[in-house]
Amino acid sequence: MTAKSSVPQRAHEERLPLLCTGYGQEAISFILGLLEPNLFARENLWVVHAGGAYDLQVILGMEPSVGQLLDEQNYRNMSKKLPPDLRDRPIISIGHTFPNCWRTSQDDAWFGVQLVLQAAWNLGMHSLLGFPVVDEPCPHPNMYVKDRIIYRVGRTMFETAVLPEKLAAYAKFVDEVWVPSSFNVESFQLAKIDPAKLFILPQGVNTTEFDPARHAPLDLSDATLVFGSNSSSISSSSSSSKEPGQTQPFRFLSVFKWESRKGWDILLTGFFEEFKVEDNVELHIVTKETVQKIHDFRSYIRQAAAPLLNITHSSQFDLLPRVYVHYHHIPDSLLPGLYSATDALVLPTHGEGWGRPQIEAMSMGKPVISTNWSGVAAFLHEGVGYPIRVEGLVEAVDEGANSFGWFKHQRWAQPSKQHMKELMRQVVRNPAAAAAKGAAARKYVVDHFSLLAVAYKFLAQLLRVQDIVDHLLAQKNSE
């Protein structure tokens, strides 16, 4: 079937509708990249939420124009307004989700029964944990599109050296697997996924929105002081409010979910080993819980850090350089201001599928210190940042329910704490050189990872898939 679009100046005429789902902000960036510059006809891109629960805070913090666009492209809305010849076409499904969402009731009838059991389990876990835990198939069976899906793509990522065997098994339910970098091409091949199924599609960042010229620094005065003394309170982010002779502290930023994979222990111990109170250096941690509920982040972090720092009395915390935690949700619209309010990003992660905070900070012209391994290595190198050397691979920390058991018997990188400390000291001592790297990082990201730059890469993959699908349809029609 063919469909013609009234959208002008498109790069090509796509013929089958695309059903996009999953992984939140990453999927939204793909949609914006395709639609805002009119690279793709809107009637040919349908959006479905699948694979996880809605996050009301994210929805409320979304730019109104983005929310409106997603609502307009929602499959349910599109199916009501499209004429039958456009609505009932064969579909290319691209599920940007965790691999365990790729199996659907189309694959086997028993899975339909499992969905009922899964729903009951989700309800129980929701009551126990206070939030829903779901592994819904992608697309969900109630979308009534399964009989029209002619080609299935799963886009995903994983953070360890080899994709876990249980996750690799789901690759048989899709025709192709798209990953953000060569790191996952290798780690997925090691899990015995057919190399012919694997293709690279990097992640983009909205460099128009994450532009240092557009945003004033965010006010950080509502941060919670975890370490250091209240006698030296946080200064304003605005240089215009400084007292005569007052020196603005150098602010490191780290953004991550509170889990072992992010290397929070390396970050804190390295920071306190390298800097003293008189250095006038601060660390701001923007974090959130994973599965385990944390009601008092200040006490939780102190308790976790005390044995690492040989602290036996609470008064010793006050003698350390200042560390602040921001654990309340920061809307996406305020994230550029967060980066503007700080001087450098540091994240000694053990492994990333991509590295959203790192590439956002680079887009904001900030120097980035992060581990030279996994997805981050696809865009962070010495010409545009400060990669942390890797000492080797070590056994991943399995935090049970907090990591859903996926890291059990896995291996990830061990970043060098000593090298991280040297790089942190380097950017503090030579802020001009760090600023130059930040400027180079912004240019590099704009050139290679803007929404438009990635959209063209996305489009190239779609054209390739479209050719495959045209061949499949021709074969089917000839039978």
CATH number at 141 reads 3.40.50
Whether pLDDT at 129 is above 80: no
What are the residues whose beta carbons fall under 8 Å from the beta carbon of 126, sequence distance 6 or more?
132, 133
Whether pLDDT at 133 is above 50: no
**Of 256, 466, 460, whose CA–CA distance to 361 is shortest?**
256
**Of 61, 30, 64, whose CA–CA distance to 47 is shortest?**
30
The separation between the first and the last C-alpha atoms of the chain, rounded to the nearest angstrom, is 16
Average pLDDT over all residues of the chain = 85
pTM of the full predicted structure?
A: 0.88
Rounded to an integer, what distance in angstroms lies between the CA atom of residue 60 and that of residue 39? 28
Per residue in 214-238, pLDDT tens? 999 999 999 999 999 976 544 444 4
Q: How far is CA 215 from the centre of its chain?
A: 22
Rounded to an integer, what distance in angstroms lies between the CA atom of residue 100 and that of residue 163? 12
- One-letter amino acid identity for 346? V
- Token pair recorded at residue 128: 């126990």
At residue 414, φ and ψ (nearest 5 deg) are -110, 100
Do 444 and 454 lie in a common domain?
no
Per residue in 84-100, pLDDT tens? 988 888 889 998 888 98
Q: Are 181 and 200 in contact (CB under 8 A)?
A: yes
3 state DSSP class of 340: helix
Do 334 and 354 lie in a common domain?
yes
- ∠ Cα 224 225 229 (to 5°): 155
pLDDT value at residue 401: 65
Do 231 and 325 lie in a common domain?
yes
- One-letter amino acid identity for 3? A
Give the residue numbers spanning the domain of 171: 18-204+450-478
Better pLDDT: 377 or 119: 377
pLDDT band at 108 (very low <50, low <70, confident <90, very high): low
Better pLDDT: 146 or 322: 322
Q: Is residue 411 part of a domain?
A: yes
Do 80 and 156 lie in a common domain?
yes
pLDDT value at residue 11: 44
The structural domain count of the chain equals: 2
pLDDT value at residue 115: 42
- Token pair recorded at residue 300: 């939780």
Do 168 and 295 lie in a common domain?
no
Do 169 and 267 lie in a common domain?
no
Q: Is residue 152 part of a domain?
A: yes
